Amino acid sequence: MLRVTQQDDDLDSLVRRRIRALRVAQGWSLEELATRARLSQSSLSRIETGQRRLALDQLVTLARALDTTLDQLVETAADDVVISPAIDAAHGVMRWPVKGDPGMTVVRRRMTEPPPDNPARMRAHPGREWLVVLSGTAILLLGHRSLRIETHQAAEFPTMMPHAIGSAGGPCEILGIFDRDARRGHRRDDTDDSTDESGEGFVTVPGSAEP
């Protein structure tokens, strides 16, 4: 017989509480979730209250019904909750990985120069970016448009559209979130930047300083 440890009990209790919390957050009754998961209402009630053993097949079904994954349903707190940034002094940026989605990267950048005047220095690459201006004012060149983004305003755009970003009237700080493709595009620009001062995105606008 398998020995049940305190850690097993804690995880069991956590999963049960998580199922109930997700159900309540959706505004669903026991009956509604039971119907979605193709369980009886009494079975679901016993699962939530600990009166019924948790079975893997039921957890998979419940995760799907709750619009989550089995991994997220049974996830425990990781030891490395606090994440320190990786500092790229050459380009004046800080980067944080997103553990829940390894394809995502968060980047903080301070810029002091306006975006490039030459449209040829705008870049386009697969992906999508989201950014928020933490301080100052940023100018986002997007295709034929020039967009002014003030402090606390955000922007989101597909990076297949030619784009560049810089500051307006003084330094500005930006926090950006890149998906996997956009991150790869910026890494290529990091390499190109050693010989070409392009105006692409956060990473290669000339004149930036250490955050």
Q: What is the pLDDT along the chain (211 residues), one digit of tens a residue?
A: 334 455 566 778 888 999 999 999 889 999 999 999 999 999 999 999 988 888 888 899 999 999 888 888 887 765 566 777 788 777 677 888 776 666 778 889 999 999 988 888 888 888 888 999 999 999 999 999 999 999 999 999 988 899 999 999 999 999 998 887 776 666 555 544 433 333 334 433 333 333 3
What local confidence, expressed as pLDDT, does residue 201 receive?
41
Give the containing element (helix H, strand E) for 189.
helix 180-192
d(CA 29, CA 41): 9
Residues in the chain: 211
Structure tokens at 175: 């926090």
DSSP type of residue 20: H
Q: Please tell me whether residue 128 adopts helix, strand or coil conformation.
A: strand
Name residue 95's beta-bridge partners. Answer: 86, 107
d(CA 174, CA 111): 8
Provide the total of helices (H) and of strands (E) in the chain, helices listed first: 6, 9
What local confidence, expressed as pLDDT, does residue 19 receive?
92
Name residue 146's beta-bridge partners. Answer: 141
d(CA 5, CA 43): 25
